[in-house]
Structures are given as C-alpha cells and as structure tokens.
Structure 1
Amino acid sequence: MKIAFALLWLIRLLPMWAIGMLADALGLLAYHLAADRRKVGLTNLRLCFPQMSEKERERLIKANFGYMIRLALEYGVAWWSSAERIRKLVTIKNLHIVEELRAKGEDVILFYPHFVGFEMCVFALNQVLPLVSVYSQQKNDTLDAQIYAGRQRYNNCYIVPRNEGLRSIIKAMRKEHTPFLYLPDQDFGVRDSVFVKFFEKDAATITGLSRISKLARARVVPLIARRVGNRFELEFYPAWENYPTDDVVADTRRMNAFLEERIREIPDQYFWLHKRFKNRPEGEARVY
C-alpha cells in the first residue's frame, strides 16, 4: 500500500492530460483483463438501456474503465496537490443555491450521485463550503488513515462514522447549518431499502434521502460532478419542491428518476462497474 501511495504522489506531479493518457491505456488493459467487472458493467447497461446496441455498450464500458482508472490515479492530486491547483481544475456552478438556503437558516442535504468526477469536485467544494460526510472504515489500516486524512484536509468536514446513525448526522448538520453530502445511489442491501425502478429494472434503493430530509426538516439539493476534458464541472440544481412527501417509495423513485436524467447526459461517466442490481426482489433470479 505504501508503494501505491508513493506512485500516486509521483503521478500527481504530471499534468492532467498526461494522467489522462496513462489512465486511458491502463483502462483499456483493465477492460480486457477484468472480465468479471466488465461483465458487471455490460450487464448494467443491458438492463438499463435494452435498446442500446451491444457495440455501443462496449464502447461506453471501455470509456468507463478509463474514467475509473483516472479517478484512482487522481487521488494523488486530490490529497497532495495545492488547494489552488484543485480550485483551478473545478468550475462550481450555482453555489448560490445552497448559500441562500443556509443564510435563511435551512438545513440542506446534497444528493451527490456516483459520477467519476465526484472525488476531485468535492475537494474543491470543501474549500468553500463546510460539509457533513458519513465514513465507513476501510479494512486496510494504512488506506483507512490516508482516506480519513484526505477527507479532513481542509479542516472543514464533519465526519460521522456510518455506525452512529441518523441522530449524529442530523446533529452535525444543525451545527452552522452544515450541508450533508449524501451518496445513496448504490445497492447497500435490502435493509432500509425498497425496490423501485432504476431505468428499466427494479433496484434495491435505500430510502435515506426521504427519511433524513423529513427527520431533519432539510431541503434536498442535487449536486452533479462532471468531467469535462481535463477539468471538472460541479453543478448545483434547485432544491426539490414538495419533498419529502408521506410516500417514501414515491420519494425514492423520484430520486432515481432525477439520476436517470443526469446519466443520460453523460452515460459513460456513471459508476457502471458497481453491482447496482445485486439484490433482487424475492423470487427473482440473480442478474450477475
């Protein structure tokens, strides 16, 4: 692990275009060698875009491998490059949306789905906005220490261990109306989840966005990270009106519907290599 960190430290000295070229080469290699993960990505696209040609699915997943490798290689930039370099790499759009809500004394949940630009963008955002984040301890102690230190790089992030539950999250949010950065768009198991459509297929989807926003009386503001060439764009969307409702299933489906719209805009930049349909409704066959 120390060798890997040393390589990341060196790679961050490269210009972004050079990191991108390295990632493209390694991504293509990974596409051919990581057969199981390639199958996961292609299966996800087949389930979500049944009308898409097989050739187009393969093109998207090849690009996705490159993006995912690039995300990993750029951790060195996020952890050790200057704050100024990171700020220059990320254009933040519509920050006023969350600033105005905080100024009015409202709490905010940032719905932040898993797009490939999410890591670099949050390091730029945390320079100008305090954040609450939930953290899961890593199995490797060295990796755990580095990721935790990275999250705390600007001393502007309140980290809540995942096992502490909602009360700790809400308490941290109410401290200076600090936005809660929430990534609920993966398959975290059937506990606290409902099966709702994600594109064409039912997916186990946690109901936390609806439940936490209701308990905290917080506004939900979507936040999308995009890679644009060798740079990034982080865009805030208007706070959702009439959310949450008394129908947690409808609220959860609304979350997925919004995400689907954003994925259609940049389909090769979503986390397709995650087993989004790992858990199935009772009686339904596994897909992987």
Structure 2
Amino acid sequence: MAKQSTLDKNISHFLGPKHWPTWIGIGIAYLLSFLPWFGQKWLGNLLGSVHYALSSNRKNICHVNLKICFPDMTDKERTKLAKAHFKSMGIGVFEMFATWFQDRNNTASKVAFNDQDVIEKALSKGKGCIIIGAHFSSIDLCGTHMARYIDVHPIYKLQRNPVINWVMERQRQAIFSKTIERSNVREVMKSLKQNKAVWYAVDQDYGRKNSVFAPFYGRDCATISHISRLAKTTQAAILLYDYGRTEKGYFLSLTELEDYPSGDEVTDATTINALIESQINSKKEQYFWSHRRFKTQVVPGTPSPYSK
C-alpha cells in the first residue's frame, strides 16, 4: 500500500507549535534561495565543512563507504575525498532551496542537455520508458531541469517531517506533471501505459526483501531487483541517466541500454551497478557517500560495517 501523501491536506494541518521550528527553517531557506549562484556555492562549501566537523555519524558512514570502495586509497586521500563530498552535498542543499523557491529559468543557461533524440526514440515505441540513475548531490537541480525536456514522473521517498513533505510535494508538483511515492507501483504502471517516462534512483539499499545481491566496487550489496521485472512486464525502454555539476554549470545525459533486461535479475543488477560506478568515477565527490549503501549484509545477522 502506498504511503500517505500530504497533497490532499491544506496548510492548517501543519501550523501547530510543534511545527514552528521547521517553518522557521523553511523561511530561512526561502531567503537564502535569492542569493546569487556563486554565493550559494560559497555558503554550500562552508555548510559542508561545518557538517563534516560536527556530524560524526554521517562522517563515519562516508569513511566506511570510501574504505570499502577505494581500498587502494591512502587514509589521507580518503579524508580529502570525504571533505570534498561534504562540501558538494552542502552545495546541493542550496541547489534544493533554489529548485523549491526560484524560477528554474534562472539557471537554465547553466544546463547542457544534448540527448533529446534518445528520449524521443525511446518513447516512439509507445511503451513508456524507465529512466534509471544514481544519487548525486545536484539531484534536485538537475532533476528540475530534466523536466524542461522530458515529461518525467519521478519516484520519491516521503520524509519523516510532515512539514518538509508538505512543502516538497507541492514544489515538485509545480515542476513535474506527476510524482510517484516509491511504494505506489500502480501509479508507475499507469504512467508507463500512458507512454510517459518514470525516473528511479536505483543505488540505495531498500532491504533484503526488495533486492538481490550484486557487486558494487567489488563488494556484494543489496540492489533493487524490480527494475528488470518491470521492464520485462511493460517492455518499456531503459534509459541510463547521468548528470552532475561542472565548473561552469551542469550537464544531463541519457543513454538507452541494449539487451536489458537479460532475464537474470542478478546479471541485470550487476550491469546497473557497473554503469553507476562508471558515472561515479568521473565525479567521485558528488556521489552520496554518506548513505548506508552496504547496510544489508549478504549473510543475515552479520554486523553492519557502519557499527562503531
């Protein structure tokens, strides 16, 4: 069953005193969104540095992931990369503010996308398409600009804070023609039948029940398995989505996958993980290293690598 959205609730549900701190934070975010792009990048770097210094839990997760994925790096190299990652995530926070509260045309000139023919070819088959990609720190801003070129229906996860959900869902509703909470499979199928593009970020650990184990940087990790089943059932085209931040702006890129699905879920998951690795290697600091990618262990009961 799909989780409860806030789209059917008005603001009066979220005006109680317990929500005031969140509203104050959102007000500050609104004001910060008016800063010029270079000012937001500078503050994002500062925010990331402060977060690295103060967040022992996220810092531990990041260092564990880097040690697993890049065992040949020295401690000094991993520390340098970890600090760069936190700065990149800090910039991503300000990019999120901009996508929520500012006109996306303000940053349109900074975004390069040259693959309109890829999406047109995929949708010409009439089966819809499934766009798959990873979590990079510019996901909000680049996702907003993807909607300028593609009528894409992103899959999203509800947050614990209901006020954040209320704001987030409404801001995304203004950008995308439709958004789909990740447990709502019925809406995914409906979108594909309407020949729309559905966007999944496929690089997080959703637990043993929804995954197969496939290598990611040489270590088996839980990788969502329903993408290949969904592709087989719907015959939708599969497009690999890459995006990121550059020195002068942002890029978006789409590539159609051939021979997918293969008929074997582990093979398909391995293929996706290898493609994501290739994307990460060109911009390592922008990846979500502070997420617990290896949380679910192959052998049940094995301690988490993130346990201190």
Q: Same fold (TM over 0.5)?
A: yes
**Residue in 2 aligned with 1:131?**
152
Tell whether 2:172 aligns with 1:151.
yes
Give the partner amino acid of 1:225. Answer: Y
CA distance in 2, matches of 1:89, 1:146: 26
Partner of 2:182: 162
Aligned partner of 1:179: which letter? A
- Cross-structure match for 1:83: 104
TM-score normalized with structure 2 length: 0.88
| Structure 2: runs of 5+ lacking an equivalent | 1-21
**Offset of 1:244 from its aligned partner?**
0.2
Deviation at 1:25, TM superposition (A): 1.4
- State yes or no: 1:269 paired with 2:290: no
Give the SS at the match of 1:91: strand
Find 2:268's aligned residue among 243, 248, 251. Answer: 251
1:223-242: per-residue Cα shift (whole Å, max 9, x none)?
111101252111112x1111
Which letter maps to 2:237?
R
Partner Cα distance (2:156, 2:285) in 1 = 27
Q: Comparing 87-96 with 62-71, which one deviates more in the overlay? A: 87-96
With normalisation by structure 1, the TM-score equals 0.94
C-alpha distance in 2 between matches for 1:246 and 1:100 = 23
Distance in structure 2 (CA, Å) of the matches to 1:246 and 1:200 = 23
SS in 2 for 1:234: strand
1:89-124 residue CA offsets vs partner (Å, 9 max, x unmatched)? 321131220122213424211112101111101111
**Residue number in structure 1 paired with 2:45:** 24
Q: Superposed, which structure 2 residues align to 1:125-274 within 5 Å?
A: 125-154=146-175, 156-165=176-185, 167-175=186-194, 177-229=195-247, 231-237=249-255, 239-274=256-291
Q: Is the 8 A contact 2:63 2:78 kept in 1?
A: yes
Instruction: Identify which range, 253-262 or 75-84, moves more after superposition.
Output: 75-84
Alpha-carbon distance in structure 1 between the residues aligned to 2:105 and 2:153: 22
Q: Please give the alpha-carbon distance, in whole angstroms, between the structure 2 residues aligned to 1:158 and 1:20.
A: 30
Of 101, 118, 124, which residue of structure 1 is paired with 2:122?
101
Secondary structure of 2:154 counterpart: strand
| RMSD of equivalent CA atoms | 1.5
Instruction: Judge conservation of contact 1:78–1:86 (CA < 8 Å) in 2.
Output: no
Please say if residues 156 and 179 of structure 2, whose CA atoms lie closer than 8 Å, have aligned partners that are also in contact.
Answer: yes
Aligned partners of 2:248, 2:63: CA distance in 1, in Å? 26
In 1: Cα distance, 2:242 partner to 2:188 partner: 22
Paired letter, 1:273? S
CA distance in 1, matches of 2:48, 2:248: 16
**Structure 1 consecutive aligned stretches of length 4 or more whose deviation exceeds 3 Å:** none
Q: Could you tell me how far apart the structure 2 residues matched to 1:233 and 1:252 are? A: 25
**Partner of residue 112, structure 1:** 133
Which residue identity lines up with residue 253 of structure 2 in the other structure? Answer: E
Contact 1:207 1:248 in 2 (8 A): yes
* Equivalent residues of 1:91, 1:232 under 8 A apart: yes
In structure 2, which of residues 72, 75, 85 is the aligned counterpart of residue 64 of structure 1? 85
* Count of equivalent residues: 284
SS in 2 for 1:197: strand
Bigger shift: 227-236 or 48-57?
227-236
Secondary structure of residue in 2 paired with 1:153: helix
Q: Which amino acid letter does the alignment assign opposite residue 190 of structure 2? A: K
CA contact (8 A) 1:196 1:205 kept: yes
CA displacement, residues 199-258 of structure 1 (integer Å, 9 cap, x when unaligned): 021111111221111111111111111101252111112x11111011111011000011
